[in-house]
Structure 1
Amino acid sequence: MGIISWLAVTFSVVLILIGVLYLYLNVAFLYWRKRNFPYLRPTFPFGNLGVLLTRLKSMGEVYADIYRQMNGMKFGGVYLMHRPQFIVRDPEMIRNFLIKDFEYFHDHGFVFDEKIDPLTGNLFMLTGKKWKDLRAVLSPTFSSGKMKIMFETMVECGQGLTEFLDEYAYSKDNVEMNEVVAKFTTDVIASCAFGIQCNCLKHPDAEFRRWGKRMIEQSLMESIIGILYVLVPSIPIFFNLPLTSRSVSAFFRKVVRETIEFREKNAVKRNDFLQLLIDLKNQKRGKEDKPGFTMDEITAQVIVFFVGGFDTTSVTMSFCLYELAMNMDVQTRLSTEINTVLQQYNGRVTYEAIKEMKYLDKVVSETLRKYPPVTFLNRHCTKDYNIPETDLVIEKGVQMVVPVLGLHKDPEYFPDPEKFDPERFNEETKSRRPNYVYLPFGDGPRVCIGKRFGVIQTKVGLVCLLSKYEFQVCDKTADSLKIDQRKFIMTPTEGVWLQARYRSDPF
């Protein structure tokens, strides 16, 4: 066959495939219309979320745009390529989906295969009874009592954080705070989850910091695999492609195995997350008397705690410091409260002192409002659900999405939403606002299990910093922060550049 004939055949095949895809998607795009749901008109071939593939916007920003386009609607349908998604905007409906009717929406809906990628068998990914049983087992780790036990570790890491900044405060050099606080949170998580002192602030090339960055900075191929798991999971599963990088998986499995072997051999016990899992390792589970946790199951829980703990907390602290530098009146009021309370505790950062800092709580809440680390919530409909007071049915298998960023930036609930205003969270203002429009950690039975840990860690880091330093803008500070479109967690693209100056009355 000549080259011209070969090209003609290839061109014909491509045209036929495009035609088949066009016909298939046109049928798929009738899903919401056929069921009489309100919906946004999709475009060929990517439905309503095609901009995600261009990486011009993050998924959270795309859903926030959809939220705004649905203004005046309580809910509506969209398409992620061929897959129908149900978007909910109404606070009362959000309550139903997350809490009241949780039995219909108890799973996140991620498709995975533990045989291909054992580390996907974690609390975040698991479904049904397996998730429920594991949640019950792990919840005691995040009680107030456990937080108090881990608190001193957080404070020790916070003191290391302030010592690290001494050089910058003395020289008045600019410092990129997102990387600095990420090292602090890595130190905290490494100690509380693994019982390992890695001192990332003193040793910037520490393994934990490198592998922490490696987990969230995906290669192009890893990004493609992740997209395939969302759109057509059968493809990566057929080719045995893991969702977790094999190198990341190997590192954490090695660390967990070696740590557990050392503790068991030397009868070492620590009050940390890993110890709870070690204690469960040899216990029988359930009425069936199943064996206790395997090494892979333990590693899966530790790695999701590690990822969720260090990244979300570090970006929250970074965004908060940026807003405090841009709003010096807020920073002055907060630092005054911090130093006033610490005086009552002889300059010591204690659990009780943190609890007394009411304005600090407002500042952290407003940071999480403007910059929610997780910008949307997704739930999988596990059985047909009739929407109350309608004849509409959400069918089993449809994914429900709550656009958290859209809610947090809705002027109906948060007037002048781009303004950083901690007083949105005073008692009077909160009482006038509907419930379920502020969801930085989700809500209901599937609310983030590490919520309390993350908030306390954030507050400890901020108290240690603001009791000693004042943060100011510098010539490298952005007028507004650009968000990295490639990452699932809301992250500043170019970091947060500030100057740290000594306060006159530090503790």
Structure 2
Amino acid sequence: MIVTEVLLSIILATVAAVIYITYRNLTYWQRRGIPCDTPHWIHGNLYGVAKTMSIGEAFTKVYRRYVGSGPFCGIYFLQNPSVLVLTPELTKQVLIKDFANFTDRGLYTNEKDDPLSGHLFQLESPKWRVMRNKLTPTFTSGQMKFMFSNVIAVAEQFVDTLNSEMVQSNVIEIKDILARFTTDVIGSCAFGIECNSLKNPDVIFRQMGLRIFNDHRHSSFVLAMINAAPSVARYFHVRLRPDAITDFFMNIVRETVDYREKNEVQRNDFLNILMELNKGKLKFDNNADEKGLTLEEMAAQAFVFFAAGFETSSTTLSFLLYELAVNQDIQKRLRAEILEEVEHHGGKVTYECINSMPYMKQVISETLRKYPVVPHLQRKAIADYNVPGHPNYVIEKGTTVYIPVMGIHHNPEFYPAPDKFDPERFAPAQMQLRDAINWLPFGDGPRNCIGLRFGQMQIRIALTYLLRKFEFCTCPKTDIPLVMDPKQFLNNTKSGMHLKIQAI
């Protein structure tokens, strides 16, 4: 009887403690007088995410509700009190001015058990700073020129493949074929390997590319819990990716490095640069740590270059071609600019050619404005932070800060009629009237996207080759408006993207 009473007392005390902690967590912002929505007791303010709306849409709704109320509002990521930035001033402070206090993203890494998680996007300082310094020379304009010919070769294959597929039907699901194009580009520029997914969609690189974003070791809820308590996940040796994906990329890097070293092979690609870093042939700014990269570190950087490079560029290109199909006048104007510039450069597509088209730059910028592939940015406070000019707004140490890129890009105060596709927003005169911090497809500050030059080059080359040869139109299979997939973290459509393509 006594044992039963003791056990019952322990259970009741445990339940009471859980209720109290939950209550304290979920009233954090209310007790501080910071605006916030009433949270769900398990999901926080993310109830319905991945079912009825994407996380980008969830953040956008909260942003629209509270913008103008202060520098930030409160949001609960599960039971974790987090910050949603509402003003350009605080965005600038977090990303640029006070970056030293928001260096980390607060994402889960476990290099020991899950080596591919140790890549630049997820690493925390000081490892992130050292790795960034090492990799910065990789993405200079000079290195882009070295990789340019590799991308051109794949673009020429892309045109041939598209012509072949149009023999069967001129209504094509362009997202898939664009992903095959960018897979071949990244395979060539990252690993020096001819993937040939344009010719054969079932090749291993294409399948692994699909698995990176579709095969998950854990559910969305478990992933959220892992990121909410990373130290606990590391204690239990939690890995993020299926073993098959990790094994594939580790093996491909190991085998390629071994082959090149034994045969003294040199290529103008990302892996060759990593190998030179590993041997100490390339120097970087941080002289305090000039050790070479381990094989695991090389594999992790090659992995994220592949994953980010093929998916973000193919998604952006598919949205861009969709808008050109809907807006024929914009397509005609862009084609005219391309034809004129190529002719001006002797009929050849050169590095200087693709970088001398101002209207193309405007079209790409507007696509990234309307359809930011990454819908929000994430940072973590290293120390308590008092928002300048707002004494009641304090971001405590360890708090995650979210910047709602999609919400900012669709704010009519910055972009009137935000649902309209209008490249004139990025004409030089218009850009001078708008704070640059309100366009964030690549982030900003020291931790912006290191591969933005490569992504822009890949997109410009693809557009140059496609619009010289083909015209893109809508068809009965085209979803107007587009239906977005709530299950995807990155902005993406639910059922592909079908367009009618005609040879010119």
| 2:371 equivalent in structure 1 | 371
Q: How does 1:44-55 map to 2 (within 5 A)?
A: 44-52=41-49, 55=51
Aligned pairs for 1:299-310 within 5 A:
299-310=299-310
Aligned match of 2:108: 111
My pick for the range that moved more, 122-131 or 233-242, is 233-242
Quote the residue 1:65 is aligned against. 61
Looking at structure 2, the residues matched to 13 and 69 of structure 1 have their Cα atoms a distance apart, in angstroms, of 43
The normalised TM-score by structure 2 is 0.93
Which segment drifts farther, 445-454 or 333-342? 333-342
Matches within 5 A, 1:318-357: 318-357=318-357
The 8 Å contact of residues 106 and 380 in structure 2, kept in 1 or not, is answered as yes
C-alpha spacing 1:350/1:383, structure 2 compared with 1 (3 Å)? same
Asked if the contact 1:161/1:184 (under 8 Å) is kept, the reply is yes
TM-superposed deviation, 1:393: 2.3
**1:297 alignment counterpart:** 297
Task: Measure how far apart 1:235 and its partner are.
Answer: 5.2
The corresponding residue for 1:8 is none
* Match 1:212 to one of 209, 213, 225: 209
Cα distance in 2 between the residues matched to 1:288 and 1:432: 42
Q: Distance in 1 between matches of 2:287 and 2:331?
A: 55
Q: Which amino acid aligns with 2:53?
A: K
Aligned-partner Cα distance in 1 for 2:396–2:289: 36
Report the equivalent of 1:3. Answer: none
Report the residue type matching 1:60 in the other structure: G
User: Structure 1 residues 456 and 15 mapped into 2: Cα distance closer, same or farther (>3 Å)?
Assistant: farther
- Give the superposition deviation at 1:153: 1.0
Aligned-pair CA distance for 1:394: 1.2
Q: How do residues 192-271 of structure 1 correspond to structure 2 at under 5 angstroms?
A: 192-219=189-216, 221=218, 223-234=220-231, 236-271=233-268
8 Å contact kept, 1:112–1:229: no
1:398 aligned residue? 399
Q: Distance in 2 between matches of 1:103 and 1:51?
A: 34
CA contact (8 A) 1:183 1:200 kept: yes
Structure 2 unaligned spans of 5+: 1-8
* 1:379-428 alpha-carbon deviations (Å, 9 max, x no partner): 00001111112223211100111000000011111111111111110011
Partner residue of 2:175?
A: 178
1:48 Cα deviation after fit: 1.4
Within 5 Å, give how 1:134-145 maps onto structure 2. 134-145=131-142
2:362 and 2:424 in contact (8 A); partners too: yes
The reply to whether residue 126 of structure 1 matches residue 146 of structure 2 is no
Distance 1:90 1:288, change over 3 A: closer
Instruction: Tell me: CA distance 1:196–1:220, structure 2 relative to 1, closer, same or farther (3 Å).
Output: closer
Describe how 1:15-34 pairs up with structure 2 within 5 A. 21-34=18-31
Report the CA distance shift for 1:222/1:279 in structure 2 as closer, same or farther (over 3 A). Answer: farther
1:414 maps to what in 2? 415
**SS at structure 2 position matched to 1:198:** coil
Q: Are the equivalent residues in 2 in contact too, given 1:225–1:236 (CA < 8 A)? A: no
Q: Distance in 2 between matches of 1:152 and 1:83?
A: 48
The one-letter code matched in structure 1 to 2:163 is D
Question: In percent, how many aligned pairs have the same letter?
Answer: 42
Report the counterpart of residue 78 of structure 1 in structure 2: 75
**Aligned equivalents of 2:199, 2:418: Cα separation in 1:** 39
1:467 is paired with a residue of what secondary structure? Answer: helix
- Counterpart-to-counterpart distance in 2, 1:428 and 1:288: 44
**Aligned partner of 1:189 among 186, 191, 207:** 186
Alpha-carbon separation, structure 2, partners of 1:458 and 1:14: 59
Alignment match, 2:38? 41
Q: How far is 1:300 from its partner?
A: 0.5
Q: Give the CA deviation at 1:111.
A: 2.8
Q: 1:13 to 1:60 in 2, by over 3 A?
A: farther
For the aligned residue pairs, the C-alpha RMSD in angstroms reads 2.3
C-alpha change, 1:13 and 1:462, in structure 2 (3 Å) is farther
Alignment length, in residue pairs?
A: 493
Q: Deviations over 1:197-221 (max 9, x none)?
A: 1111012111111101110112473
Q: Shift of residue 228 of structure 1? A: 2.6
Note closer, same or farther for the CA distance 1:163–1:26 as it changes in structure 2 (3 Å cut): same
Residues 216 and 242, structure 2, Cα contact 8 Å, conserved in 1? no
Structure 1 stretches of 5 or more lacking a match? 1-11
Whole-Å separation in 2 of the counterparts to 1:122 and 1:326: 38
Aligned position for 1:6? none
Contact 1:225 1:241 in 2 (8 A): no
Q: Which residue of 1 aligns with 2:4?
A: none
Displacement of 1:133 in angstroms is 1.1
Query: Cα distance, 1:172 vs. partner?
Result: 4.3
Matched, 1:101 2:98: yes
CA displacement, residues 297-356 of structure 1 (integer Å, 9 cap, x when unaligned):
100111011111000000000000111101111111111111111111232211111112
The offset of 1:29, in angstroms, is: 1.8
- If the length of structure 1 is used for normalisation, what is the TM-score? 0.92
Matched residue, 1:474: 475
For residues 386 and 293 of structure 1, what CA distance do their matches in structure 2 show? 38
